[in-house]
Amino acid sequence: MVDHLVNTEINSQRIAAVESCFGASGQPLALPGRVLLGEGILTKECRKKAKPRIFFLFNDILVYGSIVINRRKYSSQHIIPLEEVTLESLPDTWNAKNRWMIKTSKKSFVVSAASDTEREEWIRHIEECVRRQLRATGRPPTMEHAAPWIPDKATDICMRCTQTKFSALTRRHHCRKCGFVVCGDCSRERFLMPRLSSKPLRVCGLCYRELVAEKRKEEEREPEEEGRRQPQQDLAHSRGTTYGASSGEDESDKSDEEKDGGSAGSWPTGVEFYASGVKWSSFHS
């Protein structure tokens, strides 16, 4: 499915067209041996609501972005190495069908296809590409994945204290460890999780205590001489800027759609997307 497209003119043209749509805001995508295998529109379940996103499946990466003008201009390019990807099929909900989760160590999110056939096509092609990448790189499958964020509308109260009711004045936050929707009081802590970010991230109180406990266990397993030099320094550090409680906004609090910025224009609503009968994805053979 890949080999006969490598170094072909049609493959080069397809990749160049994708690069052109992302423009200067996107990264170069043409590399020796890279093949564009499929593309299409999926709905991505964002923090506030599901939104259409353009997806491109290459033999080694998955690329997606916001739709400004379909087939002409895309923005907010995201690139996911396929060797980090694990997929999980999900049941339908009252307002979303043909769902599955794309899981990586840095970010996990839910997408939907317009039909069950398209979902199965996406899953089959992605999983085949993942298998080929793992064989080529010799890497084992990724076992640790980031928690997907629970959508804002899933709850009207804090999922930790179950007391605070959200309103226009009491905003929702998300724990970066468990993905729960929590209030400000229940998510004052910050913890450095290098696989997610180079900056300390907002976590709920429960996850913070678990992460600190894990950190201490790691320190106890270190050589005895290292343990004599570091524990007091590390514990003080964990209570300070690296892991300590803080207030106010940080960059990680911005929702996916706030970062993306782009608008999908007059795309169908969820119901129309599933019932339109239009095929929104295509794969190259």
- pLDDT for 166 equals 96
41 burial (CB, 10 Å; 0-12 / 13-18 / 19+) is buried
274 touches 96 (CB < 8 A): no
Q: Among 117-121, 177-181, 193-197, 263-267, where is mean pLDDT lowest?
A: 263-267
Tell me the per-residue pLDDT of 141-191, one tens digit each, with 9 for 90 and over. Answer: 888 899 999 989 889 999 999 999 999 999 999 999 999 999 999 999 999
- The answer to whether 253 and 173 are in contact (CB under 8 A) is yes
CA nearest 202: which of 181, 217, 222, 220?
181
As a three-state string, the secondary structure of 129-166 is HHHHHHHHHCCCCCCCCCCCCCCHHHCCECCCCCCCEC
The CATH code of domain 149-218 reads 3.30.40.10
Question: 2-146, which class in CATH?
Answer: mainly beta
Please tell me which residue, 279 or 213, carries the higher pLDDT value: 213
For residue 103 the two structure tokens come to 């899981």
Q: Measure CA of the first residue to CA of the last residue in the chain; give whole Å.
A: 6
Q: Which residue has the higher pLDDT, 179 or 277?
A: 179
Q: Which has the closest alpha carbon to 64: 56, 265, 123, 72?
A: 56
Tokens of residue 162, six digits: 């179950």
Give Cα separations from 179 to 15, 31, 158, 197, 275 (angstroms): 35, 35, 12, 15, 31
Round to whole Å and give the CA distance between 245 and 242: 9
Is the pLDDT confidence value at 123 over 60?
yes
Q: Which helix (H) or strand (E) holds 75?
A: strand 73-81
Q: How confident is residue 218, by pLDDT bands cut at 50, 70 and 90? A: confident
Q: Could you tell me the pLDDT band of residue 210, with boundaries at 50, 70 and 90?
A: very high
Tokens of 229: 């030099």
What is residue 22's predicted lDDT score, i.e. its pLDDT? 96
Burial grade of 72 (CB within 10 A; 0-12, 13-18, 19 or more)? exposed
Q: What is the pLDDT of residues 244-265, one digit of tens each?
A: 333 333 333 344 444 444 444 4
Helix, strand, coil distribution of the chain in percent, nearest 5: 35, 25, 45
Give backbone dihedrals phi and psi of 52, rounded to 5 degrees, phi first: -70, 140
**Amino acid letter at 64?**
Y
pTM beyond 0.85: no
- Say what the pLDDT of residue 35 is: 96
Percentage of the chain modeled with pLDDT above 70: 82
Please report the pLDDT score of residue 148 as a whole number.
92
Reply yes or no on whether the pLDDT at 230 is more than 60.
Answer: no
The predicted pLDDT at position 260 comes to 47
Domain ranges in the chain are 2-146, 149-218
pLDDT level of residue 1 (50, 70, 90 thresholds): low
Q: Which of 65-69, 246-250, 256-260, 272-276 has the highest mean pLDDT?
A: 65-69
